[in-house]
Amino acid sequence: MVLLLAISSASSAETLTASVVELPRPNSGTFSFQQAEARKTEILSNAPTPKLENWKNPYMGFCIHVGKDDSLTVYGHFLNALPEFRKPGGRQSVTDIKRLSVELPLGGNPAGILITSDLPLKDSKAIHEVLKVLFVPSVQLFYARSGEPGSTANRSHPVGSEINRTPAATGPGR
């Protein structure tokens, strides 16, 4: 399934509209590993966005922000009530991010990880290293994609509201 969630952020007099989209997850029941792998590069068509601090993650997880300098920052951890997860930890390595994802108490569910970025991810070197460790069956990745005028994304719900699920356009899964 594709998950669309509209994001609105105002910059000067201009409004940016984007959608938070699920990246196909390998061996998810909907996508085989090969089907998901073939679509993995869709994340490189992201829309640059600020950190989406108010995004409601449908899973336990966190958000990763790729800075203009290609640095990685974790924010919005679902355990933010605990002091060690309350504040962004500054720059983090891919190893730190992998450790955080493995430590999540998932109980058989995937982790939900949103990737936001100050730059188009196609221009990032760090995203390729992140995908090497997080593009796995136990992690559902999300990213921001530009909405088009008059599209469903423009009529979706704002960040923090209920999600709008629509069927995948790829046909039947396994």
Q: What's the total number of domains in the chain?
A: 1
Residue 26 to residue 24: CA distance in whole angstroms: 7
pLDDT for position 126: 95
Q: Does the pLDDT value for residue 83 go beyond 80?
A: no
- Pairing of β 111-117 and β 139-146: parallel
Q: Is residue 43 part of a domain?
A: yes
Instruction: Output b/e per residue, 13-34; b: 16+ Cβ within 10 A.
Output: eeebbbbbbbbbbbebebbeee
Q: Is residue 88 part of a domain?
A: yes
Q: Is residue 171 part of a domain?
A: no
Q: Is residue 174 part of a domain?
A: no
Angle between helices 126-134 and 94-102 (to 10 degrees): 20
Determine the structural domain holding residue 88 and report its residue range: 2-166
Phi, psi of 118, deg, nearest 5:
-75, -15
Say if pTM beats, i.e. exceeds, 0.75.
no
pLDDT for position 42: 93
Mean pLDDT of the chain: 75
pLDDT for position 3: 38
Which one, of 77, 63, 36, lies nearest residue 143 by Cα?
A: 63
Beta strands per DSSP E along 76-123: 111-117
pLDDT for position 138: 92
pLDDT for position 95: 93
pLDDT digits (tens, 9 = 90+) for 108-155: 889 999 999 999 999 999 999 999 999 999 999 999 887 654 333 322
Q: Is residue 120 part of a domain?
A: yes
- Return the amino acid letter for 145: R
